[in-house]
Amino acid sequence: MHQDVKLYARGITKRYGRRTVLDNVHLAVGAGQIAAVVGANGCGKSTLLRICAGFASPDRGTVQIHGTLGYCPQDGGTVDFLVPDEHFLLVGAGRGLSRGASRAAGRAGARALDWEPDPRVQARRLSGGTRQKLNLVMAGIGAPDVLLLDEPYQGFDRGTYLDFWQQLYRWRDEGKAIVVVTHLLTQLDGVDTVLDLTPAGVRA
Ligand SMILES: Nc1ncnc2c1ncn2[C@@H]1O[C@H](COP(=O)(O)OP(=O)(O)OP(=O)(O)O)[C@@H](O)[C@H]1O
């Protein structure tokens, strides 16, 4: 793997029962690049990200990650009875950060999305969009080299959605390799690679 390629997924094939969801998929993302994964509902976008993140195994193919990894799932990911700072501390501890550094990283990430977390409010009391902000902030704690973002903007209002793309461009400028699942094709001009997983027979 070339040093600058941070994520290299090669020949990924995944079947559920008799259904082939991913058929020999390749994706290489270098430092300072954004790859968008697009395609119809159910074509395997989340499955590919879960395989890249190590949460699911491919039937065939390999994934190489060069560096550390941050993952923002499509849903879930937060803990109902913990407040935002406690989420930051948990993720930061996993990355070897001190409590202070974890909290500071989380709060800075929240500010980038124009969000001032109320320190007393547990995740279960947050709105869906705010929980997704929390997920996204957690993915970025500890400055991972590779970011896998599975439709992280669901529930974001327009301002936050724009902040989200600005955050992506900042991460790209810092040299991170980013994979973002998206249905919103208007943003595709701003990305470096587009991987369309829609099966060939289904494409218009
Ligand atoms: N654990 C599983 N067991 C069986 N089938 C699964 C499993 N996970 C996903 N699938 C199926 O695999 C297919 C791809 O699912 P996936 O969630 O990856 O699609 P997606 O492209 O992310 O969809 P969406 O755009 O709706 O988020 C779907 O038909 C789904 O039902």
Query: How does pLDDT run across 68-86, given as a tens digit for each residue?
Result: 999 999 888 899 999 999 9
pLDDT at 203: 58
Q: What is the pLDDT of residue 204?
A: 55
- Ligand 1 centre to CA of 78 (Å) is 21
DSSP state for residue 115 in the 8-state scheme: -
Give the count of beta carbons closer than 10 Å to the beta carbon of residue 182.
20
Q: What pLDDT is recorded for position 143? A: 93
Tell me which residue has its CA closest to atom 3 in ligand 1: 16
Stretches in the chain below the pLDDT threshold 50? none
Give 4 Cα–ligand 1 centroid separation in angstroms: 31
Contact 50, 21 (CB under 8 A): no
Report which protein residue has its CA nearest ligand 1's atom 9: 47
Question: Which among 115, 117, 52 is positioned nearest to 86, based on CA atoms?
Answer: 117
Atom of ligand 1 nearest to the CA of 74: 27
CA pair distance 110, 102, nearest whole angstrom: 12
The CA distance from 126 to 113, in Å, is 15
- List the chain domain ranges: 5-196
pLDDT at 172 (0 to 100)? 96
Mutate which of 45, 55, 57, 180 for ligand 1? The one with the most ligand atoms within 8 Å of its CB, which is 45
pLDDT at 183: 78
**Residue located via tokens 């195994």:** 57
ipTM > 0.85 (yes/no):
yes
- pTM exceeding 0.95: no
Task: State the burial class of residue 140 (Cβ atoms within 10 Å of its Cβ: 0-12, 13-18, 19+).
Answer: buried
Q: Specify whether the CB–CB gap between 88 and 95 falls below 8 A.
A: no
- CA separation, residue 75 to residues 66, 78, 135, 136 (Å): 26, 9, 9, 11
CATH class of 5-196: alpha beta
Q: Is the CB of 42 under 6 A from ligand 1?
A: yes
9 CA to centre of ligand 1 in angstroms: 18
**In a mutational test of the pocket of ligand 1, which residue from 14, 16, 180 has the highest number of ligand atoms less than 8 Å from its CB?**
16
Number of Cβ within 10 Å of residue 191's Cβ equals 20
Helix H or strand E encompassing 91 = helix 84-94
